[in-house]
Chains A and B, each alone.
Chain A
């Protein structure tokens, strides 16, 4: 039987080696060479938001990893994670209610459109919106594309586990539509097959977060979710500012960044090399190629 529990065990087995491999491979896919920018026939654009409301997140229990593995420790992880997920869902409920009417889907579409409008070479074609971010859904959308390439802008927005910050994440992928003989359709979206892949994260923190997650959730919820609405809007806006920067950066830009001194933010735990940018806040470029933006809401 294929279970979430089985998947958890599998993740424990392969997780560490995968993360090392991902970090090593990421850089090569998040540079779109100048020669690859323009493509005959242009690119269709797919905007994805695979959620209906603000998501919760938890700090995953790592007892099995720390303890060297084993079924008993894995079971402890499952129970701890389940309890944490239950608690996070309970704490986020008032915040979701306070965000009624907040249209993150529209923000995702507008963010993408306004960013691409600044990149004449991108040749954006028809823009579609959807929620199906499964590999089968992405592959079907690629099949339906009239262009030879599709750019997928997949957004998510959530609260960090202790509710001290809200986070907007964008994953950009560019995939070729063409399918070689004998190739499985979904393999076009495998990381190694992508033309381009980049993650951008914007983390907007509370000015005075408590150590208690529930108290932080109350701060975001107050006044009809005023701070949460401002934070999420800022997150989408700043990601929009960073999309052109991400798509136009060169290997030379990245190499130059890496000659600088790494820095970080204690509150958000983000680390990386500072990037020059037009964003409002601090922007870092990390080992795995992720571009992270952070600022405090209202400041």
Chain B
């Protein structure tokens, strides 16, 4: 019974880091003249932006949402793009608006699961515009609901969403 009581005691909430840790190794920036992505707007459309999920404990979202989402989108740099954040569209770049629609971590039986949905609208002069949702999902064994485990879970889900949006974005790159 002592074991049961200890096991059921509520865990303290944690706050996710605002610095994205990609599952891809960081690469040197794409060479000048390569495929540039200019992110003109980043929005968070989640109903309750203060929380990222519950996996045995609450996972609070980073307080600076803009900085956090920009840190995630910098991950496009490891996928072969030159990433910028100018508010005005740039004539040679893929100009992109990004909206975070869903991001939730949860526990299912002995697993922990992350699901994120990122809506992207992108266009480059002379190409057909792209508008789609990109999902990052992950289900893995939950060991102890530690801060490091849950951070990795969230980051990996976002990395998968970046992986998913990379091929269609590449198609917008100049040939």
Contact = CB atoms under 8 A, between A and B. Distances in A.
B3 A10 contact: yes
A5 B13 contact: no
Contacts of A270: none
**A interface, over-half SS:** helix
Interface stretch (A36-44, A46-54, A279-287): A46-54
B148 interface: no
B170 interface: no
Contact of A55 (B3, B6, B106, B117): B106
Contact of A93 (B13, B47, B107, B135): B135
Nearest to A100: B133
A138 to B, nearest CB: 10
A4 B4 contact: no
Given A13-B4, A82-B110, A2 B11 contact: yes
A286 to B, nearest CB: 24
Interface in A50-108: 50-53, 55-58, 60, 78, 81-82, 84-86, 88-89, 93, 96-97, 100, 105
Interface stretch (B15-23, B49-57, B63-71, B73-81): B49-57
A134 B133 contact: no
Given A81-B109, A136-B13, A129 B47 contact: yes
Nearest to A48: B48
A1 B144 contact: yes
A31 B175 CA distance: 70
Contact of A7 (B1, B8, B57, B139): B8
B40 interface: no
Interface string B120-151: 00000000000001010101011111000000
Interface of B: 1, 3-4, 6-13, 46-48, 50-51, 54, 56-58, 101-104, 106-113, 115, 117, 133, 135, 137, 139, 141-145
Given A1-B144, A129-B47, 8 more contacts: A4-B141, A81-B110, A82-B109, A89-B139, A93-B137, A100-B101, A130-B48, A132-B50
Interface of A: 1-11, 13-14, 50-53, 55-58, 60, 78, 81-82, 84-86, 88-89, 93, 96-97, 100, 105, 129-137, 186
17 contacts: A1-B144, A2-B144, A3-B143, A6-B3, A7-B7, A10-B8, A57-B108, A60-B109, A89-B139, A93-B135, A97-B133, A131-B47, A132-B58, A134-B13, A134-B54, A136-B10, A137-B13
